[in-house]
Amino acid sequence: MAETVEIINLVDNTVTARGLIAEHGLAFLVRKGETTFLFDTGAGAAVVQNMLSLGLDPREITTIALSHGHDDHTGGLKKICEITGPLPVYAHPDVFTAKYRLREGEEARYIGIPWSRAELEASGAVFHLSRQPVELAEGIVLTGEIRPRQAFEALSREFRLLAGGEYLQDNLWDDQSLIITTREGPLVLLGCAHSGLISTLERVLDLTGADRIFAVIGGTHLKDASPERLEDTIKALPRFGLRYLVACHCTGFQASAALYQALGDKFIYNETGRAFRFVC
């Protein structure tokens, strides 16, 4: 009997299912065989409540992977670990840097992990930090850092690091994605794709040796994209041979509409509580 992988969107910005809550954040539950992964943990309020509302036991989680160190992806980590006990947590070494958002005319706002590493370790998080790809289980790989390759995918200057009393550009080297091998080809789970959707997918092809990508699920960080960047992104997508692009979180309304117009039934707008199953 063929093995399957199940992906449940536990936390997202939108929800229509009764009994679940939405928040500005993202978390996916990934089940394959005897392993249950949590990819990101939302902003903190929703992940445990939504698991319980869906009849899921947080104690079944065996591994956590973090896409990057922003609070809307790491805020639920402490609560999860307090419930489960010690858990391996895979992330990039830069996940603990002092991350801020600095917008013109506004004061800098801290948007990094809400707790110190020591506090999280005391709650049960056992960190495994690597800049390189890490195989979490057979057929499931964390990409490691992804650097922008396309000129049109420049990093937002709003994202800063506080270092030496200065707010420096955050290059978000900790940004990474999860690759799941399926019968139809690589399936990619995105956190925010801060390095760019196209740059991320190109890195996935490099890592897997595949000539196409079956499906992409997650945040694309196109919500503030200029019309030119959005157009360049859409023009570049056909070369990946996607069967599905399931966007959510930081994709934004205008980008979602444009992607739907371009991709038709290949585009799905994701939301809290939606589940997907694929044959591995």
The correct answer on CATH 3.60.15.10 for the domain covering 4-279 is yes
Task: Name the band, by pLDDT with cuts 50, 70 and 90, for residue 96.
Answer: very high
Report pLDDT for 1.
62
Is 214:242 a contact under the CB 8 Å cutoff? yes
User: Rounded to whole angstroms, how far apart are CA atoms 60 and 197?
Assistant: 31
d(CA 175, CA 155): 11
The string of pLDDT tens digits covering residues 99-147 is 999 998 899 999 999 999 999 999 999 999 999 999 999 999 999 999 8
Please count the CA atoms within 13 angstroms of the CA of 51 that sit on its side-chain side: 23
Average pLDDT, the chain: 96
Residue 2 has pLDDT above 90, yes or no: no
DSSP sequence for 98-158: -EEE--TTS--EE-S-SS-HHHHHHHTEEEEE-SS-EEEETTEEE-------STT-PPPTT
Domain range list for the chain: 4-279
* Burial class of 217 by CB neighbour count within 10 A (0 to 12, 13 to 18, 19+): buried
| Of residues 1, 14, 3, the one with CA closest to residue 247 | 14
Q: Are 102 and 54 in contact (CB under 8 A)?
A: no
* pLDDT tens digits, 140-179: 999 999 988 899 998 889 999 999 999 999 999 999 999 9
The proportion of the chain whose per-residue pLDDT surpasses 90, expressed as a percent, equals 94
Q: Give the whole-angstrom CA distance, residue 172 versus residue 211.
A: 27
